[in-house]
Structure 1
Amino acid sequence: MKKNLIRTMAIALGLAIAAPASAQFNLGKAISAGKKAVQAATLTDAQMAAYVKESVDWMDANNPVTPDDDPYTIRLKKLTDGLNDVEGIPLNFKVYRVIDVNAFACADGSVRVFSSLMDIMSDDELLGIIGHEIGHVAKHHSKNAFRTELMTGALKDGIASTGGVAAALTDSQLGQLSESLINAKYSQKQEKEADDYGYQFLKSHGKNPWGMVQAFEKFQKMEAEAGASSSYINKMFSSHPETKERIKRMTERCTKDGIARPAESK
């Protein structure tokens, strides 16, 4: 049975390993691990792209992607019409039919939206989330997070570039890397950058950036009223106590630009 990534727990990018004081230090292994880390750190853009593509392909093969004639796919294609690329990176969109409320974007421009998120979001709100996720791609947050996971894997599992050719990944490694793409968490600065870029991206493509504010407000309300939680709410807000300030700042920007707020979703 294929593994469903969405229902697994998020893994930590950094692992602390404690060893007894009496353990013998193996200099050869330490040098080897350090060499692999350097190799991972100096992966070329082409090798990075190959790893990202392999991970995205693995996710698409191991999760239920809605077909072209599915209402979810039809809705997403209609909403993202005209959103073809960002900073020269071609965008592609797919829906995973899963129970978690989530969405993510990868360094190669692959944007994946979960059906359960679509169920609770209006069109404007959904576009707001997509714009925000695209902001992470444009600002290279997604790429840097993926590189960090590769480096961690290089130290832990020996993923490295050998002779200029990217080492092949095992199924287990692909699962771990793919999960890191889904559950990537960003700093307050990165979230702000993604907000700002997403706002301008949506505006420049004739989409209403108020949807980003409304989506944030909806998540905040869900969490406050029902104690609702999801991986997306957690990664977006749990470590960001200034959520109200983010909403306020984006609201002021929409107002200053004279953009009308769309009607509230039911």
Structure 2
Amino acid sequence: MKKRFIVLGILLAVFGFNKMNAQILSDKAMGAVGKGVSGFTFSDADAVALAKQSIAELDANNPVAGPADGYAIRLERVFGKHASTDGVTLNYKVYLVKDINAFACADGSVRVFAGLMDIMDDNQLLAVIGHEIGHVVNHDTRDAIKAAYKKEALLDAASSQSGKMETLTQSQLGQLGSAMIDSKHSRKQESEADAFSYDFMKKNGYDVNAVESAFRILQNLSEGADASFMTKMMSSHPDSGKRADAAKKKATKDGLYNAYVQQKIDNTAPVKAKTPAKAAPAKKTATKKK
């Protein structure tokens, strides 16, 4: 199943859709929505379990970079040391698609798209990933999957009252995973994740000015050909230019501000040096006795 996410879901908003986005809601499901699922209790453990199943379905249906791929090697080099952050254990992979996106799930899964890695250097990439980690640490991803679960009406009236989650099919898991990616965080959640990203960069000794720079890149993209559509889709999200200004203000206050210069971007796998072929042993020549 071919997947295509045309999004700036990392810090902006999803502005494209794929096959899994079609909401197929039965009369029974719509009835569940009408009757409400407010009685359904949803724990952190539920969020983790659902996210783990959903991300497994997404991974199975998207091109994932293998360990020898240049994108995977770079992500490991840049992000590997932060696989455990603020008490959260993270796992991370690269989707080999040209779209610009990154997202995190309640189980600590972080997925970065190759298109994002093509336009951001190591520090900018860390700023974006730091933002996504912030959503996990702040439980925003838990709230997102809970909202997606309810929105997609995967509960029927009986299960919503029993307080138990149903066993989901692969199709439902794919639908849930897509809805989870497409979910929008509140302005407050986005701002708090931005602050987490800045603090993450500062705490770990990275250039905090990369946070502003990453937002400027996204701002420039939003002012391009898709500007009008982006404006509509970003109505519930903070403006990337204002968020860049906020990051600059923080850096200035900390006495750390400098105009950021983007570094070299390299997503190629290192070329292994060829081992020189061993010379064939010299043949011994027999000496004839006279």
- Shorter-chain TM-score bucket reads 0.7 to 0.9
Q: Is the 8 A contact 1:33 1:154 kept in 2?
A: no
Correspondent of 1:264 among 238, 262, 281: 262
- Partner Cα separation in structure 2 for residue 134 and residue 55 of structure 1: 18
Hey, what does 2:287 align to over in structure 1?
A: none
Hey, what does 1:46 align to over in structure 2?
A: 45
Q: Is the 8 A contact 2:38 2:160 kept in 1?
A: no
Q: What is the CA distance between 1:240 and its match in structure 2?
A: 3.5
Q: Is the 8 A contact 1:128 1:210 kept in 2?
A: no
Q: What is the CA distance between 1:170 and its match in structure 2?
A: 1.3
Hey, what does 2:249 align to over in structure 1?
A: 252
**What CA RMSD, in Å, does the superposition of the two structures yield over aligned residues?**
3.4
Question: 2:254 is aligned with what amino acid?
Answer: D
Question: 1:144 is aligned with what amino acid?
Answer: D
Equivalent pairs: percent with the same residue? 40
- Partner Cα separation in structure 2 for residue 31 and residue 174 of structure 1: 18
Hey, what does 1:9 align to over in structure 2?
A: 17
Q: Is the 8 A contact 1:55 1:177 kept in 2?
A: yes
TM-score by length of 2: 0.73
Hey, what does 2:13 align to over in structure 1?
A: none
In the TM superposition, what whole-angstrom CA distance separates every residue of 1:94-147 from its partner, at most 9, and x where no partner exists? 100012111111111111000011111111111111111111111111110110
How many equivalent residue pairs? 249
Correspondent of 1:243 among 240, 243, 265: 240
Hey, what does 2:128 align to over in structure 1?
A: 129
- Partner Cα separation in structure 2 for residue 94 and residue 206 of structure 1: 24
- In structure 1, stretches of 5+ residues that fail to align are 20-25
TM-score by length of 1: 0.79
- Partner Cα separation in structure 2 for residue 5 and residue 162 of structure 1: 36
- In structure 2, stretches of 5+ residues that fail to align are 7-15, 265-290
Q: What is the CA distance between 1:54 and its match in structure 2?
A: 0.2
The structure with more helix, counted as a fraction of residues: 1
Hey, what does 1:227 align to over in structure 2?
A: 225
- Partner Cα separation in structure 2 for residue 228 and residue 172 of structure 1: 31
> If you compute each CA radius of gyration, which structure gives the higher value, 1 or 2?
2
Q: Is the 8 A contact 1:106 1:143 kept in 2?
A: yes
Q: Does 1:72 align with 2:71?
A: yes
- Partner Cα separation in structure 1 for residue 255 and residue 84 of structure 2: 26
Q: What is the CA distance between 1:75 and its match in structure 2?
A: 0.6
Q: What is the CA distance between 1:48 and its match in structure 2?
A: 2.4
Counterparts in 2 of 1:181-220, with a 5 A limit? 181-220=180-219
Judge which range, 140-149 or 236-245, deviates more: 236-245
Q: What is the CA distance between 1:238 and its match in structure 2?
A: 5.0
Q: Is the 8 A contact 2:72 2:93 kept in 1?
A: yes
Hey, what does 2:278 align to over in structure 1?
A: none
Question: 2:172 is aligned with what amino acid?
Answer: Q
Hey, what does 1:62 align to over in structure 2?
A: 61
Residues 243 and 181 from structure 1, CA distance in 2 versus in 1: closer, same or farther, beyond 3 angstroms? same
Q: Is the 8 A contact 1:93 1:112 kept in 2?
A: yes
Question: 1:256 is aligned with what amino acid?
Answer: K
Residues 33 and 243 from structure 1, CA distance in 2 versus in 1: closer, same or farther, beyond 3 angstroms? closer
